[in-house]
Amino acid sequence: MKNYKPSSRVLKLVPEIKKLYLEDQLSVAQVSRIIGIDYGTTSNVINHYLKCSRTRSENQKNVYKKLSKDQINAIKAGRESIMDDKEYLRKLSTTKHGILNPQHKLKESDVMEIRKLYKYYLEKGYKKTETQHLLADKFSVKRPTISDIVLYKAWKYLKEES
């Protein structure tokens, strides 16, 4: 997009975009909402036509500068209170385990089979990492996942049946 040429309608808005973005220090998203054009067009005008842009962290710093001390303290206090809430932490640590995690790739039966096969291969003389690679390939996951399962770092609520 080296030769970006905005439409005539957008071209009329360039001075306002420039003022909002450079002088008022608004983000691209804020400028696009105020002007009433989509984010992509606003971004193209800023990056390719005006040839100026800011990083996301610069935008965040600008937003942070506009906050009052009370607002900043409220944000910090909110974060601290959440991390002190024992019920919140307990709920966070138990709600997304195993098959309750929407991104799970294994079933509980797979995990039990992995643990059983891992012991079997070790008894047959295979090395730990070699066994983990074999099982990772078989179950279409990565080797560290197998390691976490057999060390009970993952799926630890599933205990071996005696």
Tell me the per-residue pLDDT of 32-86, one tens digit each, with 9 for 90 and over. Answer: 999 999 998 998 888 887 888 787 777 777 777 778 888 888 888 877 777 777 7
Q: Is residue 61 one of the residues assigned to a domain?
A: yes
Q: Among 155, 156, 160, which Cα is nearest to 99's?
A: 155
Residues 110 and 134 in one domain: yes
CB-based burial of residue 12 (10 Å sphere; 0-12 exposed, 13-18 middle, 19+ buried)?
exposed
Residues 61 and 15 in one domain: yes
Residue 1 has pLDDT above 60, yes or no: no
**From start to end of 79-136, where are the E strands?**
none
Residues 17 and 51 in one domain: yes
Domains identified in the chain, total number: 3
Range of the domain at 132: 98-150
Residues 54 and 72 in one domain: no
Q: Is residue 16 one of the residues assigned to a domain?
A: yes
Sign for the pseudo-dihedral over CA of 63, 67, 73, 75: negative
Place of tokens 């640590």: 93
Contacts 24+ apart (CB under 8 A), 91-95: none
Residues 106 and 83 in one domain: no
Place of tokens 């039990």: 112
Residues 107 and 136 in one domain: yes
Q: Is residue 45 one of the residues assigned to a domain?
A: yes
Residues 12 and 23 in one domain: yes
Residues 71 and 108 in one domain: no
Cβ 27 vs Cβ 59: under 8 Å? yes
Q: Is residue 107 one of the residues assigned to a domain?
A: yes
Q: Among 71, 58, 49, 68, which Cα is nearest to 26's?
A: 58
Question: Structure pTM?
Answer: 0.45
Spatial CB neighbours of 131, under 8 Å, sequence gap ≥ 6: 117, 118, 121, 122
Residues 86 and 129 in one domain: no
Q: Is residue 3 one of the residues assigned to a domain?
A: no
pLDDT digits (tens, 9 = 90+) for 14-33: 999 989 988 888 888 889 99
Q: Is residue 159 one of the residues assigned to a domain?
A: no
